[in-house]
Structure 1
């Protein structure tokens, strides 16, 4: 089913003894339904223009397409010259028509209305292009209609006969337009907005949906690998190329993901991840600085009970103060590393940063393990999480001092590359 949606501005059913735009579309597309829109002022007419209510619109349309049904709507529009006046109006009409006719395809007449009406329909098309075509109609002589005489309702029967005879000699003046420049501008703006929010998956989805008219192949190619690496936690090739230390590569990569989610305000996700990164970094710090403190069995870290008698004694005292029992077979994690640093270097810069991470441990466990909601306002939780993220970055820099600060701007540099490609 085909439905013509046609606003009628200060135009006549015909001009220069030939079809006007709306009638030309009806003649050549034979829509099942023609839905005409008039403002009250155009319907009632003015000193310059005859009242459109005096034309027999159903007769005019059926004269060129006898099976086309006709509906029209007259609306009082207070600010007819305001481009925003028609936005919701036209959208609601089209939504209602789609609801009534779910399988229909729409022909949007972007020639017969006022400039405000035509622009609104163009924007409707580029925003909701599914099952729609924009139809532009050239004038009979492919020039302006200025200074031509207006049609008169009293002469409509004679005029229709003349028009039908004239139009039969010529090809259709209808042209289906994609309004590519409008749509490309919209796509570019959407892409810019999405990359500002680091939503690369959404950019790919958007560009894939617009392949027919917008060549975003370079951007897609740039982002496909990045999104795959993010989803699979494969360290970015640029990082692998820059650094040989695999532990450094992982720490930097995962902090970039953490920082990206932090900037996107995925605070609960950040809360869950920040402790894991801190744990990884501290394991590397302790194993490198205090050799033989940590032993590995099947890749899992355990405390070496033969490391240092005084250290083991101090550690048992720390556990006892927390009502914990020493268990040499317990796999080490962040709380243990925190206690180790508290014993080995209580006044160190590393201890200072670990305190910030340790403050969020209980909040993190409630969200991650008890599936509780995160209340950012309670007990300065948001501030604590922000401090923990900053602390983890400082910890990474202490453990891996060769990381270049510019590499922390990986996603911002990626965004700049995309902007250039746009």
Structure 2
């Protein structure tokens, strides 16, 4: 008698999430396989050891449908970097080849291409497109096209409770399985690439690919990607216009100057994450100047604009008439040994005022550090042909790029910008929302 076999990587939505089947369990529910091979990375193995959750749910399903399902776990304890495509492609080829050797004529192999990491899904998609092996690739949409963002804490995962409350246990459950066809497979592979670009903050590349597969990516999804493109460009007017159309809120800081400062800082952090260290260094100068100005106003109650004018070229300069006879003018003259010239307004002029009027010694130390860092590496990078690396920054400043950014975060709070720890993860949260939409239910049916 012909048998039906399922090979399934295990991901974070398995076996049950938000009280609905994860992809692996949902495929088991529909196709009722005779045997299931579960592929577990190091992280998923830990969950398996905790409560046997994957096997337990298959066994409970087996009891419910009145059919025995054999389960074999394939453990990969060495798999901790689960984003390397090449590793999975070779491993999956070997596993599926071995499974096919044991299959008889008439047996059917189903492969779950919806669970696991993006690298796992990509590897299986490529194998399906190349048709090297005879298996049926099955995708599973999220319930009603909703995202899987609001998951349960795996530490508190109660598998028995989740099984009992799984809404898909109802007789009239919604079938969310989709057997991927050849044309759709290529689109799915491109969707995978889009998601990878989004998660690596390369939004323009993601948008370019999205425009190639109009039948699989909705206009709303493309608009979300475009929001990310414009946000990284700091184009707040366009971002606000598009966000209003989408009726979602992705911007944690709303106030004008504070928003500009915070969004600029987030964009700088992305430079670090992408290894664009030269751009990160170049971006420090305007940031430290704006930070100094806001700190002077927030911590010292001094608005530097009260002592400035706008010249005929539209540039802000110190105004001698407004400065004369003030304590601020005396402080600046002392700082520059009597040679203060009321020209440009920048960090070099504002930091001495912070040192004079602030009583926060920690703040003074931090702002001195960021000013010294900015002046040292900016001048070197601007006047020499150098390869700016993490090591180069550490050597020249004594700080890593991440340590420099921690200084920036501290100073932003001191500048009066009200931000939480979660706000600093704003881009990653935005990425999660976009990826969940791109992988959503509706796009798979177009």
Q: After superposition, where does 1:217-296 map in structure 2 within 5 Å? A: 217-231=219-233, 233-234=235-236, 236-237=239-240, 245-287=255-297, 289-291=301-303, 294-296=307-309
Partner in structure 2 of residue 107 of structure 1: none
Partner in structure 2 of residue 183 of structure 1: 186
Q: 3-state DSSP class of the match of 1:359?
A: helix
Separation in 2, partners of 1:215, 1:244: 30
CA deviation vs aligned residue, 1:14-59 (integer Å, no higher than 9, x gap): xxxxxxxxxxxxxxxxxxxxxxxxxxxxxxxxxxxxxxxxxxxxxx
CA drift at 1:198: 1.0
Partner in structure 2 of residue 377 of structure 1: 391
CA drift at 1:370: 5.1
Separation in 1, partners of 2:405, 2:128: 44
When the two chains are superposed, the root-mean-square deviation of aligned CA atoms in Å is 4.1
Separation in 2, partners of 1:240, 1:124: 37
CA deviation vs aligned residue, 1:200-244 (integer Å, no higher than 9, x gap): 1111111222335x3354321211233134336326436898666
Partner in structure 2 of residue 349 of structure 1: 362
Deviation larger for 252-261 or 288-297? 288-297
Separation in 2, partners of 1:191, 1:241: 22
Separation in 2, partners of 1:255, 1:244: 14
CA deviation vs aligned residue, 1:324-349 (integer Å, no higher than 9, x gap): 93212x11111222222233337533
Q: 3-state DSSP class of the match of 1:255?
A: helix
1:326 aligns with 2:340: yes
Query: Unpaired runs of 5+ in structure 1?
Result: 1-81, 85-114, 128-133, 135-176
Q: 3-state DSSP class of the match of 2:336?
A: helix
Judging changes above 3 Å, is the alpha-carbon distance between structure 1 residues 308 and 350 closer, same or farther for their aligned structure 2 residues? Answer: farther
Separation in 2, partners of 1:269, 1:124: 39
Deviation larger for 334-343 or 261-270? 334-343
Partner in structure 1 of residue 66 of structure 2: none
- 1:197 pairs with one of 195, 200, 207: 200
TM score, norm. by length of structure 2? 0.49
CA deviation vs aligned residue, 1:381-402 (integer Å, no higher than 9, x gap): 4835333322222222122243
Whether the aligned pair in 2 keeps the contact of 1:300 and 1:331 (CA below 8 Å) is yes
Separation in 1, partners of 2:251, 2:192: 33
- 2:352 pairs with one of 339, 361, 383: 339
Whether the aligned pair in 2 keeps the contact of 1:303 and 1:332 (CA below 8 Å) is no
Higher RCO (CA 8 Å, separation ≥ 6 residues): 2
- 2:432 pairs with one of 411, 416, 420: 416
Whether the aligned pair in 2 keeps the contact of 1:279 and 1:333 (CA below 8 Å) is yes
Judging changes above 3 Å, is the alpha-carbon distance between structure 1 residues 185 and 245 closer, same or farther for their aligned structure 2 residues? Answer: closer
Q: 3-state DSSP class of the match of 1:338?
A: helix
CA deviation vs aligned residue, 1:185-210 (integer Å, no higher than 9, x gap): 42233223212211111111112223
Separation in 2, partners of 1:400, 1:240: 21
CA drift at 1:367: 2.0
Partner in structure 2 of residue 395 of structure 1: 411
Separation in 2, partners of 1:372, 1:189: 36
Partner in structure 2 of residue 367 of structure 1: 381
Judging changes above 3 Å, is the alpha-carbon distance between structure 1 residues 388 and 187 closer, same or farther for their aligned structure 2 residues? Answer: same
Query: Unpaired runs of 5+ in structure 2?
Result: 1-91, 95-108, 110-122, 132-179, 244-248, 440-446
- The aligned length equals 260
Separation in 2, partners of 1:243, 1:200: 21
